[in-house]
A and B are shown apart, each in its own frame.
Chain A
């Protein structure tokens, strides 16, 4: 079994409103810049964070984003965990399909965010909330 990544730094962002989503986005941008991600990788991870942070607010009824700078050997990356205590996602497989939406969005948030990062993990329990973890490694 390989050891998990080492967390070298972390910060938490409260997600309760659209203004919080914007603040979380800025946080991810600043940390990605600090880590030295390319402009393209930075743009991708900030966009993914924006989608997931909005989901946390709109579908999860608010929650938290935990941002971590992680390292495995010589490889460094940004890990983001979005946690809420909302109703959960009843049909995870369908939620990961392009175009599937329960609200009035376009249904590209989850599958779209997954395409923008290197690692994506979603766990959700009905009535117990949702946790989405993404990692973008430094190229």
Chain B
């Protein structure tokens, strides 16, 4: 069994994940669990997931992203997905996934700004 894990970085009260490896399903599930624990334990205000290196988002990864955002919301944190390739976005919608309830931004900078605005509204 591979011990490969996707690193979760902390930036102040935000968590940052950059997916740069080929995601097989088990790895996606481990990331979802790791993120839920990290958000819960460290009282984060938001989570930013950079998927600019992902060549595809299929229903499994899409569900993992939607689940993670739902878990974060329950734990009082916002999730933003950044860097989705246009071809991935078109394919995702045609596949039938809308990722409703998940914030998206074009790049990391805009994603962080979005999280900060959400946190400011909250306090």
Residues of A within 8 A of B (CB): 18-19, 21-22, 25-26, 29, 39-40, 42-44, 46-47, 50-51, 54, 98, 105-106, 108-109, 111-113, 115-116
Contact = CB atoms under 8 A, between A and B. Distances in A.
Given A40-B87, A115-B95, A47 B23 contact: no
A39 B56 CA distance: 11
A115 B94 CA distance: 7
A25 B21 CA distance: 13
**Most chain A CB neighbours (cut-off 10 Å) among B25, B26, B56, B90:** B56
Interface of B: 22-26, 55-60, 63, 85, 87-88, 90-91, 94-97
Contacts of A21: 24-25
Contacts of A18: 24-26
Contacts of B95: 47, 51, 108, 112-113, 115-116
B91 A47 contact: yes
**Most chain B CB neighbours (cut-off 10 Å) among A18, A19, A47:** A47
Contacts of A47: 56-58, 91, 95
Given A50-B58, A115-B96, A43 B24 contact: no
A40 B26 contact: no
A123 B29 CA distance: 31
Given A98-B96, A115-B95, A46 B56 contact: yes
Given A26-B22, A47-B91, A54-B25, A105 B96 contact: no
9 contacts: A19-B24, A40-B87, A40-B91, A43-B91, A46-B55, A106-B97, A109-B59, A112-B95, A116-B91
A43 B59 contact: no
Nearest to B21: A22
